[in-house]
Amino acid sequence: MRTNIVLDDKLVDEAFRYSDNIKTKRQLIETALQEYVTSRKRKDLRDLKGHILFDKEYDYKAMRLKE
């Protein structure tokens, strides 16, 4: 999809400084969109409260001692 947008030059320059091998604004925008979608897809751990059942004999403290 072809779209014309106005970008904040300072923000674009800062994004380029954080990027490793991105050379074009198109690559920069695509990477930013991919990261945005990925982060939104991640389930918030707080949403899992009450949905995970642990074995009554599960002892996380004992497991730490094994390491």
Structural domain spans, the chain: 9-66
pLDDT in tens, 4-32: 999 999 999 999 999 989 999 999 999 99
Neighbouring residues of 16: CB distance < 8 A, sequence distance ≥ 6:
22, 28
pLDDT in tens, 42-59: 877 778 888 888 888 888
- Per-residue b/e over 28-51, b at no fewer than 16 CB within 10 Å? bbeeeeeeeeeeeeeeeeeeeeee
- The pTM of this model reads 0.61
